[in-house]
């Protein structure tokens, strides 16, 4: 237990390598872990895609775990709000959790608006520094289409001024500059989206070994 | 995305049930997930036991993931120190992460001093509210023995006044009142400890189905 006199609070700690390695776990499961990071506007279809992809991969025998704004916000991040600072901490923690799952050799599927480029890039860096696969998938849907869908009625409330800092309306969404995969969810069917993701994962060697 | 006008910050969100259930994942892996929460003094042997148990379970084909103070403190909890408040938040987050792993049907093995009874009880409640197994394992070692071992030289530094709030010396350790399992690590060999844990997990139906 370190002292508390340095700037970085948790000091004098070292990564515990443990005797069972990530490679051992990958061999046990017959799969490589990785993070599939879906980003896009509210209503762009991230969660629908995540659920459909998870079903397909599970049927192939691939262990996935899906993290989304709703279940994470009710648990570990229930002490965070929606200010810019809290959004950044929200995404940071999620990136760290994905990294743990990948280290456990699970395919982590995260679906969060994650509007800030820097926050997403930080998650990528966290993974890359540990040699863990991270793929940014831009679920690209025109705002007008997402707003028309408005599955939770949130755009309507945001337009009415009832929700401050709503991404796409009163808060920015910073598009990925160089996503690993882009899905035009306003043009493609769900099946087409899932097929593109499955092909992508195969190319990356992430599906069953 | 909820508004920010309520006391509980993340409101209007609901648990996303998803189409692949925990039961589906358990069937895929042939195991039930659960959290094995090792608690005890610094130097009591928690991490050594966790590593040895993980090896044995992995050899049986059981997917485990080990969380400990070191790897968590370097990652998701690198913005927390060692004040009472930060220790509580540290343990809360770890409890939530364990819960996610158990939901993924992984056996989560956590080894943290976790000195406060209330913090540990909160982790148990988190799991129980979701119908997830949680087992508190008290790694009980007399302070004199732990201090004599002093594997990281921390007791020596704490006695010299170099580390404030050191559990057992200048900060409290609240013993479990009713642990699911107690290991007298100052009396048992490592092999004996691991055997007791394996028997316990079998009784609980946590090992391979």
**B58-117: pLDDT as tens digits:** 999 999 999 987 779 889 999 998 888 999 999 999 999 999 999 999 999 999 999 999
Q: Can you tell me the distance from the alpha carbon of B85 to that of B67, in angstroms, rounded to the nearest whole number?
A: 20
pLDDT in tens, A149-191: 999 999 999 999 999 889 999 999 999 999 999 999 999 999 9
A71 close contact with B: CB closer than 8 A: yes
Q: Is the pLDDT of residue A20 over 50?
A: yes
Q: What are the Cα distances from residue A151, in Å, to A43, A50, A110, B1?
A: 6, 16, 19, 12
* Selection from A109, A208, A94, A56 nearest residue B24 by Cα: A56
Cβ proximity of B164 and A4 under 8 Å:
yes
Among A2-6, A31-35, A47-51, B55-59, which stretch is predicted with the lowest mean pLDDT? A2-6
Q: With bands split at pLDDT 50, 70 and 90, how would you rate the model's confidence at A209?
A: low
The answer to whether A96 contacts B106, with C-beta atoms less than 8 Å apart, is no
Each residue's pLDDT, cut to its tens digit, for chain B (209 residues) gives 333 333 334 444 444 445 899 999 999 999 999 999 999 999 999 999 999 999 999 999 999 999 987 779 889 999 998 888 999 999 999 999 999 999 999 999 999 999 999 999 999 999 999 999 999 999 999 999 999 999 999 999 999 999 988 999 999 999 999 999 999 999 999 999 999 999 999 999 887 65
ipTM for this prediction = 0.90
Which of A19, A89, A165 has the CB atom closest to B55's CB atom? A19
Q: Exposed (0-12), middle (13-18) or buried (19+): which is B7, by Cβ within 10 Å?
A: exposed
> At the fourth CATH level, which superfamily is domain A29-203?
P-loop containing nucleotide triphosphate hydrolases (3.40.50.300)
Catalytic residue among B47, B110, B111, B185: B111
* Contacting residues of A for B69, CB less than 8 Å apart: 1, 13
User: How many C-beta atoms surround the C-beta of residue A62 within 10 A?
Assistant: 20
Contact state of B96 with A81 under an 8 Å Cβ cutoff: no
Confidence band for A1, pLDDT divided at 50, 70 and 90: very low
Flag the least confident range among A6-20, A186-200, B101-115. Answer: A6-20
Give B-chain residues touching A9 at CB under 8 angstroms: 78-82, 86
Q: In angstroms, rounded to a whole number, what is the distance separating the alpha carbons of residues B191 and B28? A: 30
CATH class given for the domain over B27-203: alpha beta
DSSP string covering chain A: ---S-SSSSS-S------SS-HHHHHHHHTS--EEEEEE--TTSSHHHHHHHHHHHHHHTT--EEEEEHHHHHHTTTTT--SSHHHHHHHHHHHHHHHHHHHHTT-EEEEE-----HHHHHHHHHHHHHTT--EEEEEEE--HHHHHHH-TTSHHHHHHTTSSSS-BTTTB-----SS-SEEEETTTS-HHHHHHHHHHHHHHTT-S--
> What's the confidence (pLDDT) of residue B209?
58
Distance of CA B197 to the CA centre of its chain: 14
Q: Can you give the pLDDT at residue A208? A: 67
User: Nearest-CA neighbor of A41 among A154, A162, A139, A187?
Assistant: A139
Parallel/antiparallel/unpaired status of strands B107-111 and A134-140? unpaired
Q: Residue B24: which of A24, A58, A97 has the nearest Cβ?
A: A58
Listed by number, the residues of chain B in 112-131 with a beta carbon closer than 8 Å to a beta carbon of chain A are: 113, 126
**What percent of chain A is modeled with pLDDT above 70?**
90
- The domain segmentation of chain B, as residue ranges, is 27-203
Strands of the sheet containing A64-68, edge to edge, are A64-68, A107-111, A34-39, A134-140, A181-184
Predicted structure pTM score: 0.90
List all residues of chain B from 138 to 177 with a beta carbon under 8 Å from chain A: 154, 157, 162-167
- Put simply, the chain A residues between 75 and 104 with a CB less than 8 A from any chain B CB are 75-83, 86, 89, 92-93, 96-97, 99-101, 103-104
Instruction: Specify the pLDDT at position B3.
Output: 36
């Amino acid at each position: 237990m370190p002292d508390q006199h340095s700037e970085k609070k948790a000091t004098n700690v070292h990564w515990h390598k443990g005797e069972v390695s990530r490679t051992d776990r990958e061999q046990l499961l017959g799969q490589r872990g990785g993070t599939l990071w879906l980003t896009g506007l509210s209503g762009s279809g991230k969660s629908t895609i995540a659920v459909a992809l998870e079903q397909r991969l599970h049927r192939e025998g691939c262990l996935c775990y899906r993290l989304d704004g709703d279940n994470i916000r009710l648990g570990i991040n229930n002490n965070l709000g929606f200010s810019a600072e809290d959004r950044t901490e929200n995404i940071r923690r999620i990136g760290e959790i994905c990294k743990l799952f990948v280290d456990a050799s699970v395919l982590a599927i995260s679906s969060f608006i994650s509007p800030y480029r820097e926050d997403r890039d930080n998650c990528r860096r966290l993974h890359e520094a540990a040699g863990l696969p991270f793929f940014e998938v831009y679920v690209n849907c025109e705002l007008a289409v997402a707003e028309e869908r408005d599955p939770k009625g949130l755009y309507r409330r945001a337009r009415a001024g009832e929700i401050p800092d709503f991404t796409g309306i009163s808060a920015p969404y910073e598009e990925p500059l160089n996503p690993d995969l882009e899905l035009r969810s306003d043009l493609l069917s769900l099946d087409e989206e899932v097929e593109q993701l499955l092909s992508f994962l195969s190319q990356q060697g992430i599906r069953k070994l």
